[in-house]
């Protein structure tokens, strides 16, 4: 079952614009993570935000977490063509710290 659900499913922007992707989840979490996947490749971890944090930054990435709404957002500022990829949120689910489940992802296309 999918724990996280990202929206939008697809997002197309111009280089230099900001891209915002959202993730909603169903059960309580210890942390929420965002990953990136280039076409046909494995996923790469981008950033983690813990349940007691509300906002976190890493370079051009900004993640927010609202545990009351069970939602998170990933903002990529000043996007580049190289940011074109699929982005997934991931959480531990089912009360287990071992199971890591992913949403369906947002396909981001940054046009040069």
Closest contact distance (angstroms) between CB of 57 and other proteins is: 17
78-97: contacts with other proteins (CB under 8 A): 88, 90, 97
Query: Which of 7, 13, 48, 53 forms a contact with other proteins (CB under 8 A)?
Result: 48
Helix (H, G, I), strand (E, B) or coil at 101: strand
Please give the full DSSP string across 20-48, using - where no structure is assigned. Answer: EEEEE-SS--SEEEEEEE-TTS-EEEEEE
Picking from 65, 64, 91, 90, the residue whose alpha carbon sits closest to that of residue 76 is 64
Binding flag, residue 43, other proteins (CB under 8 A): yes
Does residue 100 belong to the site contacting other proteins (CB under 8 A)? yes
Using the minimum distance from each CB to other proteins, give the nearer residue, 12 or 30.
30
C-alpha to C-alpha distance for 96 and 109, rounded to whole angstroms = 34
Round to whole Å and give the CA distance between 35 and 86. 8
Kindly tell me which of 15 and 22 has the beta carbon lying closer to other proteins.
22
Distance CA 76, CA 101 (A): 23
Asked if 2 interacts with other proteins (CB under 8 A), we say yes
Q: Binding residues for other proteins, per CB under 8 A?
A: 2, 30-31, 33, 35, 40-45, 48, 88, 90, 97-105, 107
């Amino acid at each position: 079952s999918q724990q996280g659900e990202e929206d939008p499913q697809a997002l197309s922007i111009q280089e230099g614009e900001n891209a915002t992707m959202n993730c909603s989840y169903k059960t309580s979490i210890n942390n929420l993570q965002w990953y990136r996947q280039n076409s046909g490749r494995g996923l790469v971890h981008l950033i983690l935000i813990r349940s007691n944090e509300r906002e976190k930054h890493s370079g051009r990435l900004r993640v927010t977490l609202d545990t009351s709404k069970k939602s998170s957002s990933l903002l990529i500022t000043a996007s580049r063509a190289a940011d074109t990829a699929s982005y997934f949120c991931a959480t531990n689910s089912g009360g287990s710290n071992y199971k890591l489940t992913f949403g369906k992802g947002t396909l981001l296309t940054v046009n040069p």
